[in-house]
Structure 1
């Protein structure tokens, strides 16, 4: 049941803004247990929480700042998010005091989350943040940043989150640590990934949904600088004769070990409106001159606005489980490594223990042959390829696909 009591706003609406949308009494409020009895488990199922949900003065200031922010209000947006005033009364998610600020969170029309914050004391200005959240679900609608201070962030968790812990992607063998959550759903401060300098830790939230909506469902999200944290997933290596794998939650040992070597590449995605990031282990390759093998991963970031970015990463044998993988390809605005781009081919130069250099290549499950031309020529059947080559040899790689057609290497 949604409630929206009638009332009159105290201030005149800016030109072009329908007056009721600025009236706190018209805000939509979701019943506390709605999330457990609905087929739409997203921000529309969040109840209004916090100690100031009945503070019409605060709510009115937040709505008016949204409708027509004065110059004193700092406005930020994630890419692809509109800042226009709401067309109808938004849904109130939170209003309360956090880290010395009064914070209000709204959900608008199923497409945006808007955060308003004003200092409780001092002369600092207010802030207004917009984030796109259309088609959010159990995982991508599980948390919102409610406050950032220094090196930490607090999150407002979805009402369906039953258990919350933190873990470090660069410590894959360490169990998660309990995360304190207040009665209003706000977490204790969680360390933020460092934006620069040495990449020595990568904090993530490991959340578990209530069994009232899904059984034993744990998942990872990480703070990439936007209001909504990004959901991390993993697609296992192809099995012999098995159908194509689908992304899974990144909580298994195999997934955590892969993320331990690729977590630091998430830095390049900060502030770009990322919805989810999947590590797809698309190939395993036996290396020349020995019995060691390497893994090939396609790390795909999907944004809320649609376009994606991929990093192809080469995981050579390493002494440390957290040694960063080598990024061998980086492509923006692409469908590669998604359900609309299921074929991938990539290559790299690699130095064996003997000191000899090779060109290596690997393709996804439908690749049946790889050919090299240019400074070095060669071919091999199957999804992997290796050939002796000078360190910086300019080589063109192409692949043949099982169902016909060819594939060029991604760069």
Structure 2
């Protein structure tokens, strides 16, 4: 094996004192954190990798006053041309060892290593932190690194970022805990990546991999408010249960993060028995007359884990103070009335997930793979879900992405960008259990430059749904509210951004309807009028928007909105709305349009036959708007 030429090295000191290691850590802190970030497992997610990288470096100092120096390796020079000192070599070795340990799987027969646990410090509450985004080359390199093993990533980074030759890399990996065979295999795997040394160094030093220069975004604000209210209620419940613990009884049961039981009820105890969970046969949906959650089979690798299922049921009935509880509006969060149906139990990334269904609600229980601290419980109402609303359930949201568990009858899954209908569908891979690959979620986006929809295809056709922050995605339809049809991406290209107003409101379906076209005054072209109506699972509080798109605009703007109007719905199709509009010549107009069934429109003392009207007015003038139906009934504007 041909190795790079390195200058002669001098053996480092036999003992490293804490001051020498601290000086090296402070001087080279950004370089060490970048090294840890690149070697840590990509499956942690960008936010947790950033925090873990800082934690690993900050724990790299010797525990005592001194420590043994690492075995001598050929010296190398950094980008400034300085030869590395023994203190830096010691700290780098400690960082590398901890980063490699973080990627080891947890074993039941052994205590977890410190690096395998979530970092206690540093922690950032209420924010997601991630490095600046790079270009296509950085993205390609990140994907290549994620395909390597931990030691191979370390070898690649030591060669490219630290500029060590193969002998030095092998020595450092051996010191970090790899065997000679593993170190040699890691080197061979790293050399197999198609990147020359110059471009490798340039890419590894880019802002894409700099955990010290970060972007900050908020976590889910709506969920934080819900979690705060739930936490206050949980603390009160915990205090009551804590007082009851002093009474004679059995004390804590093996129920994980659940609160202690406070009463013995035979029916309630039966509902919490994992042996009594309802399980549907894998092929039951093929012969059933129903296509809803009641015919979903139990899937996942942990459907036989009775301890996990017992914890999920116990936490459902009695969520402890440490459990993060959320529920969509109008969804009761009480215990199951009887043994629920098991839909899924398995591992997903760094968590165990259980999905349950009791005929009224979908309940998702999630806990970290190590322990039960940080468990989460989410409720969503799904009563009366038809095949269009029972095609998928959210499994996980992380790093701006969402993953779904799809119904057993779904043949294909794909994503469509509603703002780019001509772009076509992007196929979405799924596991054998029906869990999709992650893709960007519009519910977590901070701007509306794209809007992803999930396209599910079965034997009856393709349906579009989208993530609005609930456990079940909202079904998208189009056309007249009295006879809606399955939506196509082109139906939502104008109005997709209006869906952001329906996030986290318990939305079941949203319809988009182009109800009028209007020729604007002064030859300014033709405008379009749209109506979107979001119906909820609880049947009340629909959100209705009237939207106006001027000629040449890519998206529509809100002209009027209502929280409780029957307009633009199956009970009352008629809708009327107006908006102030400025012509190219600078004149202000009130333009208004009604749907079919509106025979005249009146505003500012002027009337027009038909369903559209344009009246010139002063910019700040007050104006009233109304209409008449064919039968002479008054039609009020949407408000």
Distance in 2 separating the partners of 1:226 and 1:311: 20
The answer to whether the aligner puts 1:284 opposite 2:528 as a matched pair is no
Gaps of at least 5 residues in structure 2 are 1-252
Matches within 5 A, 1:49-128: 49-108=299-358, 110-121=359-370, 124-128=373-377
Q: Which position in structure 2 is the counterpart of 1:294? A: 527
Q: Which position in structure 1 is the counterpart of 2:82? A: none
Distance in 1 separating the partners of 2:278 and 2:528: 49
Select between 113-122 and 290-299 the one with higher mean Cα deviation: 290-299
What is the deviation of 1:21? 0.8
The structure in which a higher percent of residues are strand is 1
Change (3 A) 1:200 1:194: farther
Distance in 1 separating the partners of 2:355 and 2:638: 41
The answer to whether the aligner puts 1:327 opposite 2:558 as a matched pair is yes
Distance in 1 separating the partners of 2:309 and 2:506: 26
The answer to whether the aligner puts 1:132 opposite 2:366 as a matched pair is no
597, 601, 623: which is aligned to 1:395? 623
Distance in 1 separating the partners of 2:576 and 2:363: 40
Matches within 5 A, 1:330-349: 330-349=561-580
Deviations 1:99-149 (A, max 9, x none): 2111000011x2100000010026741110000001101111111001111
SS across alignment from 2:522: coil
Distance in 1 separating the partners of 2:311 and 2:335: 13
SS across alignment from 1:102: strand
524, 543, 546: which is aligned to 1:309? 543
445, 448, 451: which is aligned to 1:202? 451
Q: Which position in structure 2 is the counterpart of 1:270? A: 503
SS across alignment from 2:447: coil
Deviations 1:1-52 (A, max 9, x none): xxxxxxxx98796525621111111111111122222222110011000000
Contact 1:358–1:387 (CA under 8 A) maintained in structure 2:
yes
Distance in 1 separating the partners of 2:443 and 2:347: 26
Q: Which position in structure 2 is the counterpart of 1:386? A: 614
Deviations 1:347-392 (A, max 9, x none): 111122222221111111001111113xxx2111111111212223
Distance in 2 separating the partners of 1:124 and 1:152: 23
SS across alignment from 1:51: coil
Contact 1:27–1:89 (CA under 8 A) maintained in structure 2:
yes
Deviations 1:64-96 (A, max 9, x none): 001111111111100000111111110000000
Deviations 1:276-312 (A, max 9, x none): 1111111111222227211111110011111211011
Deviations 1:223-256 (A, max 9, x none): 11110011111116xxxxxxx86211111xxxx3
Distance in 1 separating the partners of 2:286 and 2:528: 41
Q: Which position in structure 2 is the counterpart of 1:36? A: 286
Q: Which position in structure 2 is the counterpart of 1:250? A: 487
Distance in 2 separating the partners of 1:63 and 1:363: 52
What is the deviation of 1:195? 4.3
SS across alignment from 1:395: coil
Distance in 1 separating the partners of 2:290 and 2:595: 35
Select between 99-108 and 26-35 the one with higher mean Cα deviation: 26-35
Distance in 2 separating the partners of 1:258 and 1:393: 35
Change (3 A) 1:123 1:117: closer
Distance in 2 separating the partners of 1:258 and 1:385: 25
Q: Which position in structure 2 is the counterpart of 1:150? A: 399
Select between 151-160 and 16-25 the one with higher mean Cα deviation: 16-25
Change (3 A) 1:123 1:90: closer
Gaps of at least 5 residues in structure 1 are 1-8, 237-243
Contact 2:559–2:579 (CA under 8 A) maintained in structure 1:
yes
Q: Considering only CA atoms, is the larger Rg found in Structure 1 or Structure 2?
A: 2
Distance in 2 separating the partners of 1:163 and 1:14: 47
SS across alignment from 1:58: helix
Distance in 2 separating the partners of 1:263 and 1:122: 41
SS across alignment from 2:499: helix
Contact 1:140–1:230 (CA under 8 A) maintained in structure 2:
yes
Q: Which position in structure 2 is the counterpart of 1:191? A: 440
Distance in 2 separating the partners of 1:328 and 1:79: 26
Distance in 1 separating the partners of 2:342 and 2:380: 15
390, 394, 405: which is aligned to 2:633? 405
Q: Under a length normalisation based on structure 2, what TM-score does the superposition of the two structures give?
A: 0.57
SS across alignment from 2:508: strand
Contact 2:482–2:570 (CA under 8 A) maintained in structure 1:
no
Q: Under a length normalisation based on structure 1, what TM-score does the superposition of the two structures give?
A: 0.88
Contact 2:416–2:425 (CA under 8 A) maintained in structure 1:
yes
SS across alignment from 1:198: coil
What is the deviation of 1:176? 0.7
The structure in which a higher percent of residues are helix is 2
Contact 2:524–2:584 (CA under 8 A) maintained in structure 1:
no
423, 426, 447: which is aligned to 1:177? 426
Aligned-CA RMSD value = 1.9
